[in-house]
Structure 1
Amino acid sequence: MDARAIIAALRRGGQPSEAELSWFAKGLANGEVSDAQAGAFAMAVCLQGLDQPARRALTLAMRDSGDVLSWDLPGPVIDKHSTGGVGDCVSLLLAPALAECGAFVPMISGRGLGHTGGTLDKMEAIPGVSTQISERRLHRITAEIGCAIVGATGRIAPADKRLYAIRDVTATVESLDLITASILSKKLAASPQALVLDVKIGSGAFMKTTEEARSLALSLVETSNAAGCKTTALITDMNQPIATALGNGLEVAEVMKALTSGKDGPLIEITAALCGVLLVLAGLAAHEDEGAQQIKEVLLNGRVAKRFGRMVAAQGGPDDFAEHWERYLPVAPVIHEVKAPRAGYIAAMDGEALGLAVVQLGGGRMVEEDLVDPAVGLSDLLRLGQWVETGETLVRVHAARESAAQEAEAAVLQALRLTDECPDLPPLVHERIS
């Protein structure tokens, strides 16, 4: 095998063989492929593209470059992946809800990226919780609790870790083939029997248009199914945050409110829709509507809150988090109310701008080494279509300093648009792709 020959053939529009891609992925993991060769490979894929068999082969080769988990459990192992948005804390409800219905969910998640929040950062807003655990401990927690939310070890898809860093500095991040292989190599390394993909569309998502979201969803679904994992995607709305809060500790609070209030809402609805798909794929429900209703019942009756608390304790958090979560979550020293400058309907939100405002507050990372402040963010955000009077509170800013709160207020006011007419509201679920 020769990296130069593989790259040259790709550059001319040829498709590498399964053996060549397997060799190249191992070379990425063990250093036999140089940074220059990795960058040239990424650029060739970005410019020429891969066909479906090559995309599948690259995904599996990157998966197999490290550890692939195996399971011996009395129920199906299933998982979910979101392409990223703002105020998206669905994973924290979804994993324990599925466990409550007889599934096992070893969820390998990520940190915040750009303007979007990270599931691991949210979990780590709970004092004592560790998301970096050994594979042995992951197996034990999953078997005992039914779910765990953890980060990938260095032995999970190391080829992807290497190639992702190269893509970040070679302007090849947007390649659909490389995005697909990156996402699925890590997810398939956990060996789920079924997977649901939450592909976000709208102002707070990476995919802003229907065409972009549909192309990504199709690529992910086709590749994952070809790799032997039953997969369906839902294209869901991100023209406004799912929860009414953005920021790690504040989103955990939204999760606990949803799990203990017994009240329905967008967070419950999206979670139920995604879980309904998974329960059918896993053979635990006959129809998606039936599965969604089953999930709603356990979300609203308090059982999921208790299981979430057990997962938190198993990962090092407080034993009584489900009962006394308010005493454990961090509180920002400055809480500032942003008032409506005029009366009107909330007609539009720039979700990306809202997410970046939270990053500027310290709730996300400008560079990889930045520490995240779990207390800061936005809360009590009104939803699209709501009427506000002049001077009514639009959102509360939680900040470390008054100056930071004022900067966030200016960003929020620019991100929200008020009009005299009520806007047409987008659906929570735009499309289903299987």
Structure 2
Amino acid sequence: METSNSLTSAWAALASAFGCGLLMGIERERRKGTGPHRALAGVRSFTLAALAGAATAILAMPALLAVGALFMAILGATAYAKDRSGDPGVTTEIALFLAYVIGAMCTQDQLLAAALAVAATGLLAARERLHSFANTWLQPGEVRGGLILAALILIVAPLMPDRPLWGEVLNPQLLVRLLVVLLLIQSLAHLGRRLLQARQALALSALASGFVSSTATIANLGLELRAGRGTLRAQAGGAVLSCVATMLQMLAVAATIQPAWLAQLAAPALASALVAGVYGSWLAHTGLADVSEKPAAQMPADTPMFRLRDALVIAVLLTAVQAGVYGLGLWLGDAGMMTGALLAALADVHSVIAALLAHGAPGTPAAPLVARTLMAAMLVHALSKSGMALASGGPRYALAVAAGVLGHTLVFVLGLWLM
């Protein structure tokens, strides 16, 4: 019985290796070419390489498996050295060696081996698209941004200690995660501006700026209106659309700081964002009716995906205000926490959100006070934005902006109060 089971497993491994090698070989055969300059291997070579890997693994002779791998490596090196096509590459040689490894893997995990074969074949088939993406579509600023993001996620974050340095606040790894979230949001907005039409790109620009600072966005759009750039409705629409970012970033901060609050904040925040999005889009659409539906202007090649300094300032500010509100709470109790939160809300509400949510999770004794203070802080912040609109763009601009800002804030407050 044991021999029968072993034989069945061996046949299954060989069949799996045959399919994986055939899949990769068909793709390579279509690119192999003809004549004296044709590539190293095609459908038969890849299938045989995968079968060889499976057969040597089934024999359970590590030395023979190593000899087979060495043979594949020598074969690839020899083919590369004899290449006279004028455009040498090592893709086929590496793929042939990988087919041998996948064949051997079929004796251990056939599903993983098949998935690897499909992924490798897809990578081989996407040659032109990948080359075009890397050499033409991808811009230098985006390459630098991707490297910075990868370094933060894969190098910096794992090295940061994951514990508060003071009470319940000042967690270094949490600071890095906040920074990564902010940079990812800015990067997605950057890609959106590249891909959308000119009219949508104008609205998206205001929305993306809101992830940095909605208050600053409102002030900047008001100043542009005073200077005669843009229309009242277009500028006001962009200002209100920046508030959508405020609500979405609230959820991002909650997911990072205290995920337990997401269940209570998600519905009010999304409803609030929907109100701001609909009203802001309507204003922007009517204000930009004369803008033609042409592609957005080409960005300079060095345009960065994100503003690292701005995101770092916001992440540090979130952490600093969180520590300040925590300290006031220790010093003056609940009254100190509420006072600090309301004062901070005059300038930036995300830091208040981070500080308040860290103070207590839903179901704890502090949760009701956290919810009430958050609602009060959102109202204070809405009044602050409306005042900034009045100071920067004048009464008509302030009236159009305040209707959206106060409206979406009241939706959030009412929704959170009913939760």
TM-score range, shorter chain: under 0.3
Q: Report the TM-score when normalising by structure 2.
A: 0.26
Q: Which is helix-richer, 1 or 2?
A: 2
> TM-score of the superposition, structure 1-length normalised?
0.25
| Greater strand proportion | 1
Higher RCO (CA 8 Å, separation ≥ 6 residues): 1
